[in-house]
Amino acid sequence: MSDKPADLADLEGAALPPKLARGPWATAFAKLRSDRAAVAAFILLLLIVAACLAAPLYAGDVSGTDPFRSNLNGKIEIEGKKVPVMQPSTTGLGLGTTPIGPTWDIGPFLLGADNQGRDVMARLLYGGRNSLLIAGAATVICLILAGAVGLTAGFFGGIVDTVLSRLLDVLWAFPIYLLAISLSIVLIAHGIEIGPISITSGSLWLPIWIIGIVYVPYIARPIRGQVLSLKESEFVLAAVGLGVPAGRILLRDILPNVTTTLIVFVPLMMALNILTESALSFLSIGVQPPDASWGTIIQDGQTLLYTRPMVALAPGIAIVLTVLALNVLGDGLRDALDPRSKLRIRQG
């Protein structure tokens, strides 16, 4: 924060010798690279993604159990002794069984087992794949839809704008989770068929589309606003004056300016989507068993909370780390690409 008056800062800028010509993208990239927090967040994200991608390797070579099959009668060897995965309870009345706790040892049951005797660490990695995949795909869908709606509404105006804007108003006022819950509960049991497209009930596409759609107004509204002000900008007026066709103005003059906004939204939307996916899965209307996601593992761990807290703690920590890294990266991207920081995702 410099406290200098704006006009003085401008003078200084003008007096500087011209720098080597660098495009706006290269400038933004250089700025991002000098942001240490953003770089650290990016590295952390890469590590998380790599670990999740290596899930089959981990399940096959390290834990050595199938994370999707219940393993109630399994035994493992710890320090030369055979130990059952589901051990007799030592708490309460001593009835029933408790899954094995964390071994804290690279190998089977690093983080212990869940209620069905499945390796929590292996499920955590497989669950991460689903969580990241759903969040990523939903982000792409959301940005494409919102970009299209925002551009159309802002650029063409008139009746098109009125209809789209009113529609966005309704979606905007609809509490996100209630909308997502309504869509999920209706589709979860029977899936959906629209013409040639059919999504079966257990498919990951259901949460992907639902999460992608519910956040459209959050992006489409600021995009529309930006297009409206771009339409009044001198370079667009000049293009109109030169007789450039509307389609070309949209693609060559307006879209590139909106692209930065969309890119700034990517990590922030990813972060929101991971939280939304985990909440839906926690409510049992997201990823369906036997598939896992971080949300479903937290739900699995709810009954074991006081005896084997690691089952619920570990996926939560994974979510916090991932979402935190995405938020930090998002802040860095915003500073790099949108120096005036006009975009704020929650306010639109």
Partner 1 sequence: MLTAILRRLGQMAFVMLGISILVFLIFFATPGSDPASRIAGRNASPQTLEAVRQSFGLDQPLPVQYAIMMKRLFVTQDITSFVNRGYRVIPAVMQAAPITLSLVLGAAILWVIGGVLIGLIAAATRGSLLDKGLMVVGLIGISMPVYWLGEVMNLITQSRLHDTWLFSWVPTLGYKSFSVDPWLWFKTMVIPWFTVAVLYAGLYGRVLRASLVESLQEDYIRTARAKGLSERRVLLRHALRTSLITFVTLFGLDFGALVGGGALLTEVVFGLQGIGKLTFDALQNLDLPVIMANVMYASFFVVAANALVDMAYVVLDPRVRSER
Contact residues: partner 1, CB under 8 A: 1, 3, 166-167, 169-171, 173-179, 181-183, 185-194, 198, 271, 275, 278-279, 282-285, 295, 298, 301-302, 305-306, 309, 312-313, 316, 319-320, 323-324, 327-328, 344, 346-347
- Residue with smaller CB distance to partner 1, 74 or 295: 295
Q: What's the closest the beta carbon of residue 256 comes to partner 1, in angstroms? A: 28
- Residue with smaller CB distance to partner 1, 67 or 295: 295
- Residue with smaller CB distance to partner 1, 74 or 330: 330
- Residue with smaller CB distance to partner 1, 136 or 191: 191
Q: Which two tokens stand for residue 266?
A: 């990517």
Q: What's the closest the beta carbon of residue 39 comes to partner 1, in angstroms? A: 16
- Residue with smaller CB distance to partner 1, 185 or 251: 185
Give yes or no for a contact between 128 and 55, defined as CB atoms under 8 angstroms apart: yes
- Residue with smaller CB distance to partner 1, 20 or 93: 93
Q: What's the closest the beta carbon of residue 194 comes to partner 1, in angstroms? A: 6
Q: Which two tokens stand for residue 216?
A: 């459209």
Give yes or no for a contact between 134 and 212, defined as CB atoms under 8 angstroms apart: no
- Residue with smaller CB distance to partner 1, 149 or 239: 149
Name 250's Cβ contacts closer than 8 Å, sequence gap at least 6. 151, 155
Q: Say how far apart CA 191 and CA 185 lie, in whole Å.
A: 10
Cβ atoms within 10 Å, residue 47: 12
Q: Which two tokens stand for residue 53?
A: 């991608």
Residue ranges with strand state E in the chain: 75-78, 81-84, 86-88, 97-99, 192-194, 197-199
Reported as half-sphere exposure (CB side, CA atoms, 13 A), residue 95 has a value of 1
3-class secondary structure, 113: strand
Q: What's the closest the beta carbon of residue 189 comes to partner 1, in angstroms? A: 6
Distances (CA, A) of 210 to 57, 135, 206: 31, 11, 6
Q: What's the closest the beta carbon of residue 274 comes to partner 1, in angstroms? A: 9
Q: What's the closest the beta carbon of residue 186 comes to partner 1, in angstroms? A: 5
| CA-based max dimension of the chain | 85
Instruction: Please provide residue 280's backbone torsions phi and psi, each rounded to the nearest 5 degrees.
Output: -60, -45
3-class secondary structure, 19: coil
- Residue with smaller CB distance to partner 1, 107 or 309: 309
DSSP alpha helix (H) spans, 244-293: 246-248, 255-282
Q: What's the closest the beta carbon of residue 309 comes to partner 1, in angstroms? A: 5
Q: What's the closest the beta carbon of residue 249 comes to partner 1, in angstroms? A: 28
